[in-house]
Amino acid sequence: MNVTVIGTGFVGVVTAGIFAKFDNKVYALDVIDEKIKSLSQGRVPFFEPKLEELVKEGLARKTLQFTTSYEQAIKDADVIMISVGTPSAADGTADLKYLKSAAKSLAPFLKPQTIVAIKSTVPPGTNQIIREIIEKETKQTFYLVSLPEFLKEGSAVDDTLHPDRVVIGANEPQVIDKLLKLHEPLGGMRIVVSPESAQMAKYASNAYLAQRITFINQISNLCEKNGANVNEVIKVMGADQRIGSHYWYPGLGYGGSCFPKDVKELAMYSLSIDEGDGLFVKLDQMNEARIPKLLKKYEDRIDSFEGKTVGILGLSFKPNTDDMREAPSLKVIPILQQKGAIIKAYDPKANTIAKALLPDVSIVDSLDEAVRGVDVVMLLVEWPEFVNKKAAFFKEKMKGSFFIDTRNQYSKQEFETAGLTYISIGQP
């Protein structure tokens, strides 16, 4: 099939690469010339495991091409997937400007019966807005469907090849057949629903996971006051098959390019349909309040951050990505600086991006440098390079003794035996 993917972010490049791998003829389009030039040469402008190999494979086999030309990418397309960003506008609603602009630009070049699929995360009702924009620009018949994406950054290629489910939000039988055929090589169950259900399910899935994290963070707060250990609590809760023990570990709150934005958007969407008194506003507020609240706690534990050197481990929003959107580091570091701390920070992949986002912070080139001579170490991201280290490694290099583990990755006993003061989440 001829497939065109509009937008070359995480979802766009991975989607284009995967469909090209299965011998479709794929165009990936973006309006940013620089990105297209780089991708055309096989260089992915962000770090995502296995993606560069996938792109290079598609380019070498000539099943994948990158372009900035709507005419070139659209005129022969059987299926168009729009995966542009839908960031939160200032009021928290989903900003559809990139989606609307893509719809307007693609419309004049549509051939008859093309399937236009929205992959971006958008509120139910968006298809009608997009339909009207396209209909203004063309007389061709087209089908508008929803194909939500559930991949995670850091494992995006594997998630796309082996998803839990492929969700097809479409009403017309011939369109459903065609999309089922296109997705045939991918794993996972197929779920065919209406476009509105598909879009609602995407928001609901992300908000549910965000809620799960917020819930366990709240339980951790209680554990910190009553001597319970959140890891043990999770063990007990997780044994109930209705609950499960996965995707359930506490920390500094959820970050990244999706959950914070999607919870805010769902809260605003609920408000717009007169259902705004629900859970989602509170969820967002609790997540926003989490880092300042924890840092106050840490400050009390170590007496004061004033004049102390703090080695920050991990700057990305989670391991295996260099993405720093809504990363804990961006909130933690300025608060620590305000409290008088001197920061040294290191990330295995995000150092370059961090230098631009945190220009007044000393970003160092190795884990060794980040912990050498510091009073406090604060682990923000559970990169394997950090969590594989033993307590003795840190003890030998640090000047002080406070080790703050915001991801519960180490054994308290081991750290305390090594002579460090181990502060974690929800543990006595």
Which residues would be at the binding site for ligand UGA (CB under 6 A)? 121, 149-153, 206, 209, 213, 247-249, 251, 254-256, 258-259, 317-318
Around Cβ 204, how many Cβ atoms within 10 Å? Answer: 13
Catalytic residue among 36, 258, 371, 381: 258
Per-residue CA distances from 398 to 10, 169, 366, 371, 375 (Å): 37, 54, 14, 6, 7
Q: How many CA atoms lie within 13 A of 409 on its CB side?
A: 22
Answer yes or no: 258 catalytic: yes
Read off the tokens for 395: 């003890």
Question: Quick one: 286 or 342, whose CB is closer to ligand UGA?
Answer: 286
Spatial separation of the C-alpha atoms in residues 80 and 390, rounded to whole Å: 50
> What minimum distance in Å lies between the beta carbon of 12 and ligand UGA?
12
Q: Specify the length of the chain in residues.
A: 428
Q: Which is nearer to ligand UGA, 195 or 256 (CB)?
A: 256
Residue 4 β-bridge partners: 27, 80
d(CA 282, CA 288): 10
> Which residue in this structure is represented by tokens 């609602």?
200
Q: Is 118 helix (H, G, I), strand (E, B) or coil?
A: strand
Shortest gap between Cβ of 254 and ligand UGA (angstroms)? 4
User: Is there a contact between 82 and 119 (Cβ–Cβ < 8 Å)?
Assistant: yes
What type of residue sits at position 363?
I
- Contact call for residues 79 and 115 (beta carbons, < 8 A): yes
Tokens matching residue 425:
């989440």
Give dist(CA 200, CA 125) in Å, integer: 10
Annotated active-site positions, please?
A: 258
